[in-house]
Amino acid sequence: MIFKRKSFHLFRNIGDESISLEEIREIEEVYPSLTPLCPDIKTAVKVLPANETTCKRGQEYCILLYSEKKDNYLQNIGYIGGQLDLYLVSKNIGTLWYGIGKAEEGLIHGLEFVIMIAIAKIDDERKFRKNMFKSKRRTAEDIWAGNMLADVADIVRFAPSSCNTQPWMVECNADGLAVYRYKKAGKRGIMPSDKVSFYNRIDIGIFMCFLELCLKKNGIRYNKSIYVDKGGDVSRTLNAVYRFV
């Protein structure tokens, strides 16, 4: 699904099929089965029709992700949402991480709204990514320093980011690899400057989800350590270390 997915920045020419109520129910049922990055953080999901959100990209529904606020809750939402994204793609449901969306309900079950994913049914698999290597992404050399695990570095760079800033950097040696939230001076995409670290921490969670899928696909076993990222405005902030075993 990593090879198939793409971000539908506008849901146009996607056919006349619609997401069924059964598929909505399945989304709500599969969500609790997804693996969290931080198991002690409570999260929730709510699926709303397009006209009940501020997202106007031609989608049918938006999936709203909620969380209690704890250390690394943003990375946790990104990590869970990354899995949900790939599940949706497997059902021919197109996705868009909509980083500037607002929710009318700021709280559900005491949990705060974090981010939404816009979705719509796609009538033909050929309307997903035909060749992801033709999409515009930072190069493997740009995001990866040290030992180049080619079958990992060249795939994980295609992880989506909520405002397409791709804010990640990996350092790798014989013992393992370290993942950093990376902020290039002057680069913030469409985000207000005071929201850059907020959305970029969600993005790092998505990246870690994709990274772990790539490591497992290549039979690379590891022990993982997560580090607290408070969102400081510095060029590199350590988020995780994967020690090879």
Same domain, 226 and 143: yes
- Within a domain: residue 3? no
Q: Which residue in the block uniquely carries the two structure tokens 């990209």? A: 57
DSSP class per residue in 57-82: SS-SEEEEEEE---TTHHHHHHHHHH
Same domain, 120 and 188: no
* CATH at residue 230: 3.40.109.30
Look at the chain and count its residues: 245
Residue 188 in this model has a pLDDT that exceeds 60: no
Same domain, 227 and 153: yes
More confident of the two residues 96 and 107:
96
Residue 168 in this model has a pLDDT that exceeds 80: yes
| Lookup: tokens for 62 | 């938006």
* Helix or strand (DSSP H, E) at 83: helix 73-90
Q: How much is the CA Rg of the chain, to the nearest whole Å? A: 17
pLDDT for 35-65, tens place per residue?
999 999 999 999 999 889 889 999 999 999 9
Residue 242 in this model has a pLDDT that exceeds 80: yes
Over range 164-179, report the average pLDDT: 94
| Domain end marker among 109, 127, 145 | 127
Q: Report the DSSP pairing between strands 168-173 and 111-121.
A: unpaired
| Lookup: tokens for 4 | 């198939």
- Within a domain: residue 13? no
Same domain, 146 and 231: yes
- Within a domain: residue 9? no
Contacts 24+ apart (CB under 8 A), 130-134: 132/2, 132/3, 132/6, 132/158
Cα–chain center distance at 191? 16
- Within a domain: residue 2? no
SS3 content of the chain, % helix, strand, coil (to 5): 30, 25, 45
Confidence of residue 134 (pLDDT cuts 50, 70, 90): confident
Residue 243 in this model has a pLDDT that exceeds 70: yes
Number of domains, the chain: 2
Range of the domain at 122: 21-127
Confidence of residue 96 (pLDDT cuts 50, 70, 90): very high
Same domain, 179 and 118: no
- Within a domain: residue 193? yes
- Residue 176 confidence (pLDDT): 97
- Residue 189 confidence (pLDDT): 58
- Residue 133 confidence (pLDDT): 86
Q: Which residue in the block uniquely carries the two structure tokens 């598929």? A: 23
Same domain, 82 and 178: no
Residue 105 in this model has a pLDDT that exceeds 80: no
| Domain end marker among 127, 161, 191 | 127
* CATH at residue 116: 3.40.109.10
- Within a domain: residue 109? yes
Residue 241 in this model has a pLDDT that exceeds 60: yes
Same domain, 182 and 202: yes
Same domain, 26 and 119: yes
Q: Report the DSSP pairing between strands 43-49 and 61-67.
A: antiparallel
- Residue 58 confidence (pLDDT): 94
Same domain, 64 and 122: yes
- Residue 40 confidence (pLDDT): 97
Residue 154 in this model has a pLDDT that exceeds 70: yes
Same domain, 226 and 154: yes
- Within a domain: residue 173? yes
Classify each residue of 62-78 as buried b or exposed e, where b means 16 or more C-beta atoms within 10 Å of its C-beta: bbbbbbeeeebbbbbbb
| Domain end marker among 127, 156, 186 | 127
Confidence of residue 193 (pLDDT cuts 50, 70, 90): confident
- Within a domain: residue 5? no
Residue 190 in this model has a pLDDT that exceeds 90: no
- Residue 187 confidence (pLDDT): 58
Q: What's the mean pLDDT when you consider all of the chain?
A: 92
Same domain, 140 and 110: no
Q: Which residue in the block uniquely carries the two structure tokens 């490591």? A: 215
Same domain, 238 and 144: yes
Confidence of residue 194 (pLDDT cuts 50, 70, 90): confident
